[in-house]
């Protein structure tokens, strides 16, 4: 859906538009700035954050003065951290009296809306000029979409490949989202191929659902909303979880150290005994060497 629209937009842009496309969004601030610079054709890997920002600002201004339009597109922006969103806000603040130097398009799932509307993102929200929510496909649209994809793939009679009663089930588990429709139908067709049948039935759709371990889409969506009720909450939960793991690890290490204390005391005692024994051996050797030297000296005098 949204990624297809991005590709359509890119195919229609003028040649004077320079575009940086970011599709991998599990990045920290430095990695994000590096990714943007790489997309614009620069080599930023040995620079510090301050240098990256200066490098990017210089590039943007130089190209803007050459009458270039500069566009940053971030797909799956709902995965961005709040810190990276703040970097995007700072970049979007570079402007003349008349227009922005860098235009930014953030594309993501509904969670992106919640993130941008969070109190700490108020300044970013103020910079948003336009936003649009792409609705999912209806049940009828889902049917038309599947048949269209089959025709594009070369099917001569696409209606015969999926029985009519499969489409309500497909819609139930995908919510009309194209990416999920693709995944479910592809899995169902693989199951049909494995069973050597030429038409996907409701039973095969249910088999595919079991393979994917999917709940109905509405239940999955409600579960996700309950897990991330506050923007940034998952980040905080992750930090707390990591801290708890660290504390548990430290506690375990301390416990092991306490258990080692008696053993260390025993080893220390044995080492003391060994040192005492070695000292006696050394003393005996030195005494014997002294006796040998005295005897040798006596023989030399006699000669």
Which residues share a beta bridge with 20?
72
The structure tokens 């992106």 sit at: 112
Residue pointed to by tokens 């996700």: 224
Q: Where are the beta strands (DSSP E) in 54-202?
A: 69-74, 102-106
DSSP assignments along 117-152, one per residue: TSGGGHHHHHH-------PPP-HHHHHHHHHHHHHH
* Residue 156, phi then psi, degrees to nearest 5: -80, -30
Which parts of the chain are beta strand (E)? 17-22, 69-74, 102-106
Instruction: Give tens-digit pLDDT for 48-82.
Output: 999 999 999 999 999 999 999 999 999 999 999 99
In this predicted model, which residue has the larger pLDDT, 292 or 203?
203
CA atoms in the 13 A half-sphere facing the CB of 138 = 2
Q: Which of 41-45, 210-214, 295-299 has the lowest mean pLDDT?
A: 295-299
Going by pLDDT thresholds of 50, 70 and 90, the confidence category of residue 134 is confident
Entry pTM? 0.63
Distance, CA of 95 to CA of 297 (rounded, Å): 99
> In this predicted structure, which of 10-19, 178-187, 240-249, 270-279 has the lowest mean pLDDT?
240-249
Shared fold status for 2-127 and 139-227: no
Q: Which of 98-102, 275-279, 285-289 has the highest mean pLDDT?
A: 98-102
Residue 277: predicted pLDDT: 64
Q: How far is CA 279 from the centre of its chain?
A: 62
Residue pair 18/63 in contact by the 8 Å Cβ criterion: yes
What is the fold, at CATH topology level, of the domain defined by 2-127? Rossmann fold (3.40.50)
Give the fold, CATH level 3, of 139-227: Helicase, Ruva Protein; domain 3 (1.10.8)
> Shortest CA distance to 4 belongs to which of 127, 114, 149?
149
Position with higher pLDDT, 234 vs 24 = 24
* 253: pLDDT strictly greater than 60: no
Q: What's the mean pLDDT in 245-265?
A: 48
Q: What per-residue confidence (pLDDT) applies to 222?
A: 76
Q: How far apart are CA 44 and CA 39, in angstroms?
A: 11
Ordered by start, the domain boundaries in the chain are 2-127, 139-227
């Amino acid at each position: 859906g949204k990624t297809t629209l991005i590709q359509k937009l890119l195919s229609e842009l003028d040649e004077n538009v320079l575009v940086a496309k970011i599709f991998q969004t599990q990045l920290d601030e430095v990695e994000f700035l590096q990714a943007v610079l790489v997309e614009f054709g620069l080599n930023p890997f040995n620079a510090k954050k301050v240098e990256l920002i200066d490098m990017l600002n210089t590039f943007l201004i130089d190209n803007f003065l050459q009458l270039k339009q500069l566009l940053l597109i971030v797909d799956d922006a709902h995965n961005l951290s709040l810190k990276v969103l703040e970097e995007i806000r700072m970049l979007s603040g570079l402007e003349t009296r008349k227009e922005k130097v860098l235009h930014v398009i953030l594309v993501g799932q509904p969670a992106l809306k919640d993130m941008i509307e969070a109190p700490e993102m108020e300044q970013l929200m103020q910079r948003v000029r336009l936003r649009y929510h792409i609705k999912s496909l209806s049940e009828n649209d889902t049917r038309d979409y599947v048949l269209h994809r089959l025709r594009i793939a070369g099917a001569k009679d696409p209606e015969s490949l999926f029985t009519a009663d499969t489409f309500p089930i497909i819609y139930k588990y995908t919510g009309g989202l194209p990416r999920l429709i693709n995944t479910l139908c592809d899995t169902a067709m693989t199951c049909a191929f494995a069973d050597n049948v030429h038409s996907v039935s409701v039973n095969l759709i249910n088999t595919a659902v079991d393979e994917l371990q999917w709940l109905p889409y509405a239940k999955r969506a409600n579960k996700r909303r309950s897990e991330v009720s506050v923007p940034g909450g998952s980040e905080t939960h992750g930090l707390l979880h990591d801290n708890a793991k660290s504390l548990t690890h430290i506690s375990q290490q301390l416990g092991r150290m306490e258990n080692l204390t008696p053993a260390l005391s025993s080893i220390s005692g044995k080492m003391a005994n060994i040192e005492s024994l070695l000292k006696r051996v050394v003393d005996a050797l030195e005494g014997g060497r002294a006796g040998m030297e005295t005897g040798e000296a006596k023989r030399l005098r006699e000669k």
